[in-house]
Structure 1
Amino acid sequence: MDLEYFKEWVYKEFRIDLKAYKPTQLHRRILSLMSRVGVNSVDEYIKLLKEDQQQREKFLDFITINVTEFFRNPDIFNDLKKKIKEELLPNNRNLKIWSAACSIGAEPYSIAMILEDLAPGGRHTIVATDIDNGILERAKKGEYSEAEIKNISKDQLNKYFNKQGEYYVIDKKIKSMVTFKRHDLILDRYENDFDLIVCRNVVIYFNQDIKDEIYKKFHHSLKKDGLLFVGATESIYNYKEFGFDKASTFIYRKV
């Protein structure tokens, strides 16, 4: 399988840099996708992706790891809520937050609910980004299945969701707190002056050089004493090299 040729085609077609991904995992994922649709070569698969919009969407969804849920790892989210309350809100009632690689929106909406619980009526800015335009459109709708809201308390469900058929739809107030944009963590420029950056369960798929570059950019994008919240399998062992202190197990503070 000519993986290099396929990477070049994906970059030209989708502007996704697959060279940043760990090669063994990437190769396995692509072979799995090809096997599912019954193609045996890169050329066949490229032809399929050119002609079949549904397969294009499946490829993008599979490659960009759209796995998420509200308050994923609830204990860790409770720790974040405590840090927001004790460290961020006392200094600034109008926080600027970035939810990077936000997938279907569960993560930025979780942050919005935390802020509304802690400081109702605040004029916070939550920027939520992802590489996948299709998934961003779904996030903007704010419609979720029962499985995706399993970590939401009954009080929050009543307060922030409306049941419509088989879906739970985010309240307009919470939805209005989040702005969704397309952004590539590897190729695009980063905004600055964030109080909090949330990026969870994404960089584990990248090679070490790309990871290090992303952490450096996150540091630059945060305000002094701003927080970086990472996933439950993503401890940054060399965090001091990037200018961070450890605020908690999965939360790092810019120094």
Structure 2
Amino acid sequence: MLYKLVRLHATRQQYFGTFFLRNRPALELMRRLAQEKAEGSTLRIAVLACSIGAEVYSILWTIRSARPDLKVRVCAVDISEEILNFAKRGVYAASTCGLVGSSIFERLTAHEMQHMFDLDGDEASVKPWLREEITWQLGDASSPELIQALGPQDIVVANNFLCHMEPPAAENCLRNIAGLVDREGHLFVAGVDLEIRAKVARELAWRPIPDLLEQVHDGDPSVRAGWPWCWWGLEPLDHRRPDWQLRYAAVFQIPAQ
């Protein structure tokens, strides 16, 4: 009841703050999907609402570290040209970042910091091998034109921005995003009102991925801590619900249409 009241009265707005390696179980699941690709093949990934780039570089670190033989091509999309240019530059303050109120590196180990960044005083620059094969695209995830601009993708990542949209707009956007996923490809979509995600998944016959489902759900402590007091908070997983797998899955395989 508290959460419903919060969502009823909240004024939703977008945020650009994030963290590196924000949800480790989700990245591990992405690594496992990449392991299924044939040696030397190409993996196409679209990251929507890429914000300041932390998610893009986290994905590339995870996959390229595990499968250096793959040709990983990423299209990073955001609606803000200023933020997109910031992400493309790939240089971050090594101290506290005001965008999130704490260090965007706080979830990294010393080993990961050393191998992901070149450090120079208070600045951390993403290493060149993680910046290869990235196309930075100005675009709106809710626009049908985006599908034509990007083309089909093996993996589409649409995390932590749909919850900041009003429900009708979020639902329309989610349906549009699904059109980006190639046949039998995968959609990662955390940070969205659960009722909306479950409704669209059910109607479009998406297949929830059970692997690491619970770990991914609890993998981002910041959103779990926000429930029930923030509209973007994430409710605890409830096994008593008959639809719990569909409701709480954040990763889906999109069937061929």
Kindly provide the CA deviation profile for residues 7-35 of structure 1, in whole angstroms up to 9, marking residues without a partner as x. xxxxxxxxxxxxxxx99544xx7xxxxxx
Kindly provide the CA deviation profile for residues 196-255 of structure 1, in whole angstroms up to 9, marking residues without a partner as x. 011111111223322222222222211111111122565421212123110142101101
Shift of 1:90: 3.9
Shift of 1:107: 0.7
**Count of matched residue pairs:** 197
Aligned residue for 2:104, secondary structure, equals helix
Separation in 2 of the partners of 1:222 and 1:212?
A: 16
Aligned residue for 1:80, secondary structure, equals helix
Aligned residue for 2:86, secondary structure, equals helix
Question: Does 2:185 align with 1:237?
Answer: no
Question: Does 2:251 align with 1:251?
Answer: yes
Shift of 1:81: 2.4
The 1:200–1:148 alpha-carbon spacing in structure 2 relative to 1, beyond 3 Å, is same
| Higher-RCO chain (CA-CA 8 Å, sequence separation at least 6) | 2
**Rg larger for:** 1
Kindly provide the CA deviation profile for residues 156-179 of structure 1, in whole angstroms up to 9, marking residues without a partner as x. 322221001112110111112322
Kindly provide the CA deviation profile for residues 122-158 of structure 1, in whole angstroms up to 9, marking residues without a partner as x. 3221000111111111101111234112223333322
Normalised by the size of structure 2, how large is the TM-score? 0.69
Q: Percent identity?
A: 20
Matches within 5 A, 1:54-65: 63-65=13-15
Corresponding letter in the other structure for 2:14: T
Unaligned runs of 5+ in 1: 1-21, 30-62
Corresponding letter in the other structure for 1:133: E
More helix by share: 1
- Aligned residue number for residue 167 of structure 1: 123
Shift of 1:95: 0.8
- Aligned residue number for residue 54 of structure 2: 106
- Aligned residue number for residue 197 of structure 1: 156
- The more displaced of 129-138 and 240-249 is 240-249
- Indicate if the aligned counterparts of 1:162 and 1:168 stay in contact, CA closer than 8 A: yes
Corresponding letter in the other structure for 2:92: Y
Separation in 1 of the partners of 2:160 and 2:82?
A: 19
- The more displaced of 107-116 and 188-197 is 188-197
Unaligned runs of 5+ in 2: 1-6, 95-102, 211-248
Kindly provide the CA deviation profile for residues 99-128 of structure 1, in whole angstroms up to 9, marking residues without a partner as x. 000000001111111121121143221000
Corresponding letter in the other structure for 2:90: G
Separation in 2 of the partners of 1:247 and 1:208?
A: 24
Corresponding letter in the other structure for 1:64: Q
